[in-house]
A and B are shown apart, each in its own frame.
Chain A
Amino acid sequence: MSPERILLTAVVVSVSYLVVVYTAYIVLVVVGAFENRLRRHESAAEDYETIAASRFTIPVSVIAPAFNEEAAIVESVRSLLALDYPEFEVIVVNDGSTDRTIAVLRDAFALEPFELFARSLFPSAEVHGVLRSGVEPRLLVVDKENGGKADGLNAGLNVARSRYVCCVDADTIFEPDALLRAMRLVVEDPARVIGVASFLTVSENALQTMSEPVGSRSIGWRPLIAFQQLDFMRAFFNNRLAWSRLDFMLCAPGAFQIWRKDVLEEVGGYEPRFSCEDIELTYRVHEHMRRQKRDYKIICLPDNIATTEGPDTVRKLVSQRERWQRVIIETVVHYRRLLFNPRYGAVGLVGAPFYLLSEVLAPLFEVLALVTVPAAVLLGVLDWRVFALVVGTLGFLNASLTAAAILASDVQSRTYRLRDLAWLTVLAPLDLVAYRPVMAWARLKGTWRFLRGDKGWHKFERNQRPA
C-alpha cells in the first residue's frame, strides 16, 4: 500500500468518525429539545409554593465534602442553608484540609464538638469528630482524615438522616430554589426516581455571579470561562437531557447529584478507587438496577440550579479535564461488560457504546486527524481549499450545535443578559479552533495517565479573588 493510500485511508477514517459522532449529536440535540420542552412545560405548570410549604415534601440531607476550601466554604454553606426547602440538613465533611477550612467554619457557625453514634454503612477514612452548630441546628460538620472526595461523601452518608441525599461540591453556590426544583419529580414518584441531576453554570467567581439577579447575570469577557460555559451547555442540553429521555443518564455530575439513600446502601456508596466518583457511581447504580430488573429513573433536569467555579487558566483547565478523561476511561473499561449487552437495555446498547465512541476513543481519532489531515494537505493528497472548507464546515456545524444548546438554555432559564448571549454565539464558531485543541490535549494527557495507571486527584487550585 502506498503512503498516499495509507494517508488517504487515515483521512477517510477520521472524517467517517466525525460524521458518525456528529450524526449522533444531531439526533441527541433533537431528543434533548423534546425533553427540554416537556420539562419546561411541567415546571411552568408546577405549584412550587405548595411543595415548599408541604410537610409531605421529602426531607433531604445535603452533603458537601470540602478539601482546602477556606476561601469559599462559608459562602457555600450559607447558600446551602438558604435553600428554600421545607426540611433539610447540611452536612459539611472536612476531608483532612490542610488550610483553615475547619477554623473558618467554626468561627462562622459557632461549631462545638459532640459525639454522634452513627452506623458505618459506607467505608471511609477515620472520622476525628462531629461538630454541630450553636447557631444553625440544620448544620453538621464531620471532621475526618483525608481520603478524597468519594471517601468524604461516604463519611457524610454515614451521618445523613434523610431518605434522599444531595451530594454537592463545596465550591458551588446554589440558587435558593435548587432543591425544590430538583426534588419536584422525586416528590411525585419516589418509588421510581432514584437519582436526579440538573444543569449548572460555570463562572470565574461563583459568588459574584450569583449575587446578580437571574436575567442580568454576566458571563464575563474572558473567552476561557465563556468556552467552559458553552461546554457545560452542550453537555447538558445536547446530551444529558437526551440521555435522560432515552433512559441512559450515565453521568450525574459531582457538583450536584441527588440519590435515594437506600440505593446507595445497596451499591455500597461511593468508590474511592476511581479518579473521580460521579460517573462511576452512576454506572454502578444503572448496572445494579438493571441486573435486578427494577423499574427506576435517573433524571437530568434543565433547570439552572447552581454556579460552580471554573478554572481560570489553561493549565488548571487541562488538569481538571485530564482527570475527567481518566475517570471516563477507568469507568468505561471497568464496566465493559455493559457494552452492547442487551441485559442492560438502553444503557448497554446505546449509552455505554456512545460513551466509548465519543469520549474514550475520541483522543485516538483526534490525534489521527491532527497528524494525517495536515500531512495529506502538505503532500497534495488533499486539496487545501477542500481542507479549509471541511474545517470551516465542522466549525460551523459545531457552532450550530452549540447555538442549539444556548437557545435551549436561554428559553429554559433566561439567566444571562442579551449581550452575553450574543457574545456566546459569536464565540461558538471559534470553539473548534480555540477550545477543542486544549480539550484534545487534556484528553490525550488523561488517556496517557490512565495507561500509566495514575489515579491522583490533581485538584485545580482555586481562582484568585480580589481581597
Chain B
Amino acid sequence: MGLHAGQVAPVFISSVALWLGLSLLIVVGRAGHDRRRRPGGRTLVAPRRGGRVERRLLRQADSSPRTESGRWRRIRALRALARVNHPACRTLLPAALADGDVEVAGAAVRSLGDVGTTWAVEELVRALQRGVYFRSRVAAQLERLAPAPGPLLVPLLDDVDPAVRFWAATLLAPYPKLGTPALVARAADADANVRAAAVETLAGRRGKRPLAAALRLLQDPEWFVRVHAARAVGRLGTPADVARVVPLLADERWWVRSAAKDALRTLGLGAVEALRETLVAGDAFARNGAAEVLQDVGYVDELLASGRNRALLDQIFAAGGERLRRLALTRAADAPAVPEREVA
C-alpha cells in the first residue's frame, strides 16, 4: 500500500487532539456546573428592577430572533420574567401568544399559568378559543388556575367551534355550581365529542337533570358517548337505574361493556338484583360480565362465607366459568376465620 507513516501521522495527531479537546470540554464543563451548584455559587435570582439582567431579559423577551439560539433565549427570558410576575409580561405574553412560532406560543401559555392573575386567565381563555397552541396544554394551565377561570368558561359552551365547546365542558368539571343547565343542553350537542365531555362533567353534578341526560345518552349512536354516559350513571344513579345500564354489558363495543362493568361496580351491592337476571342472559359476555361484577363487589365471597343461596352461587359460577369458581373458593379458603361473635 502506498501509504507512508508520515502521511498518516497528521491524521493520527488530529484524532488525538480531537479526543483531548472533547475530554477537556467534558471535564471543564462539568466542573463549572458543579461550582455553580455549590452553596454560595452563582444561582438564578429574580432580576433587580432597572438592573442589567432585567434589561437583557426584557430585550430578549421582546425580540423576534431568526436563529434557533435566539428563539430559546427569548423563551427563557419570557419564562424568567413570568416567574417573578414582571409588569412587562402584560404586553410581552400576549405578543408571544400571537407569535407564529409554536414553541414561543407554548412558552407564553406556560408563563401565563405561572402569572395566574385575572388578565392571564383571560388571555388563556382567549388562547383556548383561538387555538394558538395545543388546546390540551392551554386547558391544563386553566385547570391549574381553578377557580378563577370558571365563570369565563360557561359562555364558551355556546362557541361556534366544537373543539372550544368540548374544552369548556371538560374544564367545568371542578365547578359543580356553574353551568349545569348549559351542560345539560350540550348533552344534546350535534358534536359527539361535546356530548361525551358534557356527560362526563355532569357525572360530578347532583340533581335529576344531569342523571336524566346521562340516562338518555346510554343509547347514543357513538360508542364513546355511551362509555361516558354509563360511567356517569354509575356515579349519579341509584339501584333503580341499574336495569338501564345492564343491557350495555352486551354492547357491540368492548369499551362500552367495560364502562358498564365499572358503573355497576360503582353502584355496588345495589346492582345485585338486576345482575342476577343477567346471569342467564343469551349473550355470553353479558353473563360473565355480570358474574365478574358480582365477584368484584364482594357478593360472591359474601355468599360463600354465609353458606346461603347455594343455587344462586352455582348460577354465578356457571356464568363466570370454572376459573371464577376456583378463585372464589381459594379466596374463601384463605380468608381468616370469622369469630363466632361477628357472625352472630
Instruction: Verify B27–A50 contact, CB threshold 8 A.
Output: no
Nearest CB of B to A266, in Å: 15
On chain A, the residues within 8 Å of B137 by CB distance are 187-188
Evaluate whether A115 and B12 lie within 8 angstroms (CB atoms) in the complex, with A56-B143, A389-B5, A418-B34 already known.
no
Q: Which of A40-57 contact B (CB under 8 A)?
A: 41-42, 44-47, 50-51, 53-57
Q: Which of B279-334 contact A (CB under 8 A)?
A: 285, 288-289, 291-292, 295-296, 320-321, 323-324, 327, 330-331, 334
Most buried by B among A114, A404, A407, A429: A114
- Interface contacts beyond A44-B76, A411-B29: sample of 13 additional A-B pairs, CB < 8 Å, sorted by A: A45-B106, A45-B110, A114-B296, A116-B292, A396-B12, A399-B19, A403-B19, A403-B22, A407-B29, A410-B29, A418-B27, A418-B34, A422-B26
Nearest CB of A to B278, in Å: 13
Majority DSSP secondary structure for residues of B touching A: helix
Contact sample, A vs B, 25 pairs, CB 8 Å cutoff: A8-B1, A37-B68, A45-B79, A45-B110, A47-B113, A50-B110, A50-B113, A56-B139, A56-B140, A57-B140, A115-B291, A115-B320, A117-B292, A187-B137, A188-B134, A383-B1, A383-B3, A386-B8, A396-B19, A397-B15, A403-B26, A404-B22, A418-B31, A422-B27, A428-B23
Instruction: Verify B289–A117 contact, CB threshold 8 A.
Output: yes
Nearest CB of B to A57, in Å: 8
| Contact among A117, A381, A397, A421 with B26 in the assembled complex (CB-CB below 8 Å) | A421
Q: How far is the CA of A381 from the CA of B296 in the complex (A)?
A: 79
Instruction: Verify B136–A187 contact, CB threshold 8 A.
Output: yes
B343 at the binding interface (Cβ < 8 Å): no
Q: Which of B93-152 contact A (CB under 8 A)?
A: 103, 106-107, 110, 113-114, 134, 136-137, 139-141, 143-144
Nearest CB of A to B258, in Å: 8
B11 at the binding interface (Cβ < 8 Å): yes
Instruction: Verify B33–A414 contact, CB threshold 8 A.
Output: yes
Mask: chain A, 1-43; 1 = CB below 8 Å from B; 0 = not: 0000000100110000000000000000000000001100110
Q: How far is the CA of A399 from the CA of B11 in the complex (A)?
A: 14
B-side residues, CB < 8 A to A, are: 1, 3-5, 8-9, 11-12, 15-16, 18-19, 22-23, 25-27, 29-31, 33-34, 37, 68, 72, 75-76, 79, 103, 106-107, 110, 113-114, 134, 136-137, 139-141, 143-144, 170, 173, 254, 258, 285, 288-289, 291-292, 295-296, 320-321, 323-324, 327, 330-331, 334
Q: Which of A102-132 contact B (CB under 8 A)?
A: 112-117, 119, 129
Instruction: Verify B30–A400 contact, CB threshold 8 A.
Output: no
Nearest 3 CB-CB pairings of A with B: A403-B22, A396-B15, A385-B5
On chain A, the residues within 8 Å of B12 by CB distance are 389, 392-393, 396
A212 at the binding interface (Cβ < 8 Å): no
Q: Which residue of A lies closest to B170 (CB)?
A: A56
A382 at the binding interface (Cβ < 8 Å): yes
Instruction: Verify A119–B22 contact, CB threshold 8 A.
Output: no
Q: How far is the CA of A112 from the CA of B329 in the complex (A)?
A: 12
A-side residues, CB < 8 A to B, are: 8, 11-12, 37-38, 41-42, 44-47, 50-51, 53-57, 112-117, 119, 129, 161, 187-189, 215, 376, 381-383, 385-386, 389-390, 392-393, 395-397, 399-400, 403-404, 406-407, 410-411, 414, 418, 421-422, 425-426, 428-429
Q: How far is the CA of A406 from the CA of B19 in the complex (A)?
A: 12
Q: How far is the CA of A55 from the CA of B134 in the complex (A)?
A: 16
Q: Which residue of B lies closest to A34 (CB)?
A: B68
Q: How far is the CA of A382 from the CA of B2 in the complex (A)?
A: 8
Evaluate whether A47 and B110 lie within 8 angstroms (CB atoms) in the complex, with A393-B8, A403-B26, A422-B27 already known.
yes
On chain B, the residues within 8 Å of A115 by CB distance are 291-292, 295, 320-321, 323-324, 327
Q: Which residue of A lies closest to B258 (CB)?
A: A161
Q: Which residue of B lies closest to A428 (CB)?
A: B19
Evaluate whether A113 and B331 lie within 8 angstroms (CB atoms) in the complex, with A189-B134, A400-B18, A410-B26 already known.
yes
Nearest CB of A to B17, in Å: 9
Q: Which residue of B lies closest to A385 (CB)?
A: B5
| Contact among B5, B68, B79, B289 with A386 in the assembled complex (CB-CB below 8 Å) | B5
Nearest CB of A to B44, in Å: 12
Q: How far is the CA of A418 from the CA of B33 in the complex (A)?
A: 10
Evaluate whether A45 and B26 lie within 8 angstroms (CB atoms) in the complex, with A54-B144, A119-B254, A429-B19 already known.
no
Instruction: Verify A112–B113 contact, CB threshold 8 A.
Output: no
Q: How far is the CA of A41 from the CA of B68 in the complex (A)?
A: 10
On chain B, the residues within 8 Å of A407 by CB distance are 22, 25-26, 29
Instruction: Verify A410–B331 contact, CB threshold 8 A.
Output: no
Evaluate whether A45 and B143 lie within 8 angstroms (CB atoms) in the complex, with A396-B15, A421-B26, A421-B30 already known.
no
On chain B, the residues within 8 Å of A11 by CB distance are 1
Q: How far is the CA of A449 from the CA of B246 in the complex (A)?
A: 56
Q: How far is the CA of A38 from the CA of B11 in the complex (A)?
A: 32
Q: How far is the CA of A428 from the CA of B292 in the complex (A)?
A: 58
Q: Which residue of A lies closest to B78 (CB)?
A: A45
| Contact among B25, B34, B295 with A114 in the assembled complex (CB-CB below 8 Å) | B295
Q: How far is the CA of A116 from the CA of B288 in the complex (A)?
A: 10
Q: How far is the CA of A403 from the CA of B29 in the complex (A)?
A: 13
On chain A, the residues within 8 Å of B15 by CB distance are 392-393, 395-397, 399-400
Q: Which residue of A lies closest to B145 (CB)?
A: A50
On chain B, the residues within 8 Å of A8 by CB distance are 1
Q: How far is the CA of A132 from the CA of B207 in the complex (A)?
A: 35
On chain B, the residues within 8 Å of A397 by CB distance are 15, 18
On chain B, the residues within 8 Å of A395 by CB distance are 15
Q: How far is the CA of A113 from the CA of B324 in the complex (A)?
A: 9
Instruction: Verify A117–B285 contact, CB threshold 8 A.
Output: yes
Nearest CB of A to B262, in Å: 10
Instruction: Verify B292–A393 contact, CB threshold 8 A.
Output: no
Nearest CB of B to A52, in Å: 10
Instruction: Verify B31–A114 contact, CB threshold 8 A.
Output: no
On chain A, the residues within 8 Å of B25 by CB distance are 407
| Contact among B136, B258, B296, B327 with A129 in the assembled complex (CB-CB below 8 Å) | B327
Q: How far is the CA of A119 from the CA of B288 in the complex (A)?
A: 13
On chain A, the residues within 8 Å of B106 by CB distance are 45
| Contact among A37, A54, A386 with B143 in the assembled complex (CB-CB below 8 Å) | A54
On chain A, the residues within 8 Å of B75 by CB distance are 41, 45
On chain B, the residues within 8 Å of A376 by CB distance are 1
